[in-house]
Amino acid sequence: MIDKKTIEHIAKLARLQITEAEANEFSQQMEKILQNFNKIENIDTTGIEPMITPTEIEAYWREDQVVQEYKPQDMVANAPERAGNLFKVPPVV
């Protein structure tokens, strides 16, 4: 059952602020969607390795070379707030 408490817990895990109206809407919709997802519950998958990627990945290593492609100012150009070439962030300690 996807109740309001569960929705609040998931939103916290997802770092996602949602409104009261969204919480109600998602609760009802997720319940319906997950019921549909439960269709796969009874398929016998004993001993089956889950598939992570659909085609074979061939190992490839790039040369370990130092290349300067960007300047520091390119890397912070999209930052919402910055101080010089540093990202400005909320206090973390």
Partner 1 sequence: MELTFASISDISEAVKTKKISAKEVADHFQKRIGSLDKQLNSFTSINPDSLKQAEALDDRIAKGEDVGLLAGVPFGIKEMLCTKNLTTTAGSKILSNFVPPYDATVVARLKKNGATIMGKLNQDEFAMGSSNETSYHGSVKNPWDTSRVPGGSSGGSAAAQAARLVVGTIGTDTGGSIRQPASFCGIVGVKPTYGRVSRYGIIAFASSLDQAGPMVSTVKDAALTLEVISGHDPMDSTSSQKTVPQWSKNLSQDVKGFKVGVIKEYLKGGLDADTEKTFNDSLEALKTLGAEIVEVSVSMTEFAVPIYYLIATSEASSNLARYDGIRYGYRAEFASLSGVELEDFYGKTRGEGFGSEVKRRIMLGTYCLSSGYYDAYYNKAGQVRRLLTEQYLAAFKKCDVILSPVTTAPAFKIGELISDPLAMYMNDIFTTSTNLAGLPGMSVPYSLSKSGLPIGIQVTANHFDEQRMLNVAAALEASSLMKGQKPHVI
The DSSP output letter for 46 is T
Binding mask 30-59 for partner 1 (x = CB under 8 A): x-xxx-xx-xxx-x-x--xxxxxxxx-xx-
Helices (H), 14-50: 20-37
Whose Cβ is closer to partner 1: residue 62's or residue 66's? 62
**Nearest 10 degrees: Cα torsion 13, 14, 19, 24:** -80
Q: By CB under 8 A, name the binding residues for partner 1.
A: 2, 6-7, 10-19, 22, 26, 29-30, 32-34, 36-37, 39-41, 43, 45, 48-55, 57-58, 60, 62, 69-70, 74-81, 87-92
